[in-house]
Copies of this chain bind each other. A is one copy, B any other.
């Protein structure tokens, strides 16, 4: 269970964290280079939420890299609980931010035809990157939650225990 792909301190987890960082960073850059993004609260919220995700994912990527380099095992209940809560919060905020920005982008591109808005392709690209980033963090979040609920280390101890 400790080597289950995606659990803290594995190569899969490190790759997932790096991808989360890259896509969230890409979403922020694309949105920030659109001069009219500040006209909508949803777009500002997307930047804030993706910023939080970059910080969180970068922190965990560093921790995973450290654990891989020093061959440390990061599986204790307190640490995994912290990862579960952090991942769940960032995943929820990312989905909410991506969806609200998507709602506004669809409104601009399809519903308000008479209302001219430049930068729509940039908004669409930013929303797409945010959704991909959310998918990555959601995978991490589900793996962490599974790890906490299944309590891999405890089950391993049970299996190792032999009757006298």
On chain A, which size bracket covers the interface?
Answer: 20 to 34
Main secondary structure of the interface of A (DSSP, over half): helix
Interface presence of A80 (CB below 8 A): no
Chain B residues near A150 (CB, 8 Å)?
Answer: 149-151
Identical copies of this chain, number: 2
**Cβ of A50 to closest chain B Cβ, rounded Å:** 14
A100 located at the interface, meaning its Cβ lies under 8 Å from any Cβ of chain B in the complex: yes
Asked if A29 lies at the interface with its beta carbon under 8 angstroms from chain B, I say no
Set of chain B residues within 8 Å of A164, measured between Cβ atoms? 163
Interface hits, A29-43 → B, CB 8 Å? 39-42
Contacts of A66 in B (CB 8 A): none
Complex alpha-carbon distance, A31 and B97, angstroms: 22
| A54 in the interface (beta carbon within 8 A) | no
Looking at A6-14, A57-65, A71-79, A106-114, the stretch in contact with chain B turns out to be A106-114
Of all chain B residues, the one with the shortest Cβ separation from A100 is B103
Known: A146-B149, A149-B150, A163-B164. A99 touches B95 (CB 8 A): yes
A92 within 8 A of B: yes
What is the chain B residue whose CB lies nearest that of A106? B41
Which of A40, A45, A110, A142 gathers the greatest number of chain B CB atoms within 10 Å?
A40
